[in-house]
Amino acid sequence: MVHQIRENRSTFFKVKCPDCEHEQLVFDHASSVVVCVVCGKVLAEPSGGKATVTAEILAEYK
């Protein structure tokens, strides 16, 4: 049996809401609409593969 080392392909983005400037984490392959927990603005929408992020990306965490 061959053992393979799998690298982590998950990525999270720290985004800032354009309306209230609240910062939160968003998964890059989000399968549902992600809204700001403070004001309800849409931050990311699913698009089949990677999510379409509509907020400002501040950092990327792998």
Query: Within a 10 A sphere around the Cβ of 62, how many other Cβ atoms?
Result: 9
List, in order of start, the domains of the chain with CATH numbers: 12-61 (2.20.25.100)
3-state secondary structure of 54: coil
φ, ψ of residue 61 to 5 degrees: the values are -120, 125
pLDDT at 1: 64
Sequential pLDDT tens for the chain (62 residues):
677 877 777 899 999 999 999 999 999 999 999 999 999 999 999 998 899 999 999 999 98
pLDDT at 3: 74
Cβ atoms of 23 and 11 closer than 8 Å: no
Kindly report the pTM of this predicted structure: 0.80
- C-alpha 19/C-alpha 37 separation (Å) is 12
pLDDT at 20: 96
3-state secondary structure of 27: strand
